[in-house]
């Protein structure tokens, strides 16, 4: 992939950048006209004012910013957002305040990070059996602590 293409849907939107040359994520900024305050347990959908083109075979994953999460309890509502390669609408970020203290998201604040990753587009097949493994059907906690 040579480039990730962004289109501003709002003139106030900011094209994301990497904080450092080695940053995996591109910082997405809130495209707001006024601050949004979240009390404990409250959530909001924050617009970025951007659309993106990600090449087929890739997806843009949206993750919480570690500083917002650790210091202020601001996480993503769905854990990880997924922007598919064929989506051309506005990237919006669902956030939730998980801490006791209210938190105010300011216009232009970095609210999430976007990492573009390869994804499998292999066809799906239904089968009668799957191969056996040592683990088998062992689920949560089955491999120890």
Q: What angle do CA 82, 87, 89 make, to 5 degrees?
A: 100
Q: What is the pLDDT of residues 105-143, one digit of tens each?
A: 999 999 999 999 999 999 999 999 999 988 888 778 777
Q: What is the pLDDT of residues 22-70, one digit of tens each?
A: 999 999 999 999 999 999 999 999 999 999 999 999 999 999 999 999 9
Q: How many CB atoms lie within 10 A of CB 5?
A: 10
List the domain boundaries for the chain. Answer: 5-11+24-118
Q: Which residue bears the tokens 């216009």?
A: 107
Q: State the pLDDT at residue 83.
A: 97
Question: What value does the mean pLDDT of the chain take?
Answer: 95
What is the pTM assigned to this prediction?
Answer: 0.89
* CATH number listed for the domain at residues 5-11+24-118: 2.70.40.10
Query: Exposed, middle or buried: residue 21 (CB in 10 Å: 0-12, 13-18, 19+)?
Result: exposed
């Amino acid at each position: 992939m040579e480039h990730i293409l962004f289109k501003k849907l709002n003139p106030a939107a900011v094209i994301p950048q990497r904080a450092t040359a080695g940053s995996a994520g591109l910082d997405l900024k809130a495209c707001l006209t006024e601050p949004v305050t979240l009390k404990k347990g409250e959530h909001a959908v924050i617009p970025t004012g951007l659309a993106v083109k990600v090449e087929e075979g890739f997806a843009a994953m949206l993750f919480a910013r570690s500083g917002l999460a650790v210091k202020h309890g601001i996480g993503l509502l769905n854990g990880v957002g997924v922007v598919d390669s064929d989506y051309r609408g506005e990237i919006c970020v669902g956030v939730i305040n998980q801490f006791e203290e209210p938190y105010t998201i300011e216009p232009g604040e970095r609210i999430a990070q976007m990492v573009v990753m390869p994804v499998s587009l292999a066809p799906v097949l239904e089968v009668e059996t799957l191969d056996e493994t040592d683990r088998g059907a062992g689920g949560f906690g089955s491999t120890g602590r």
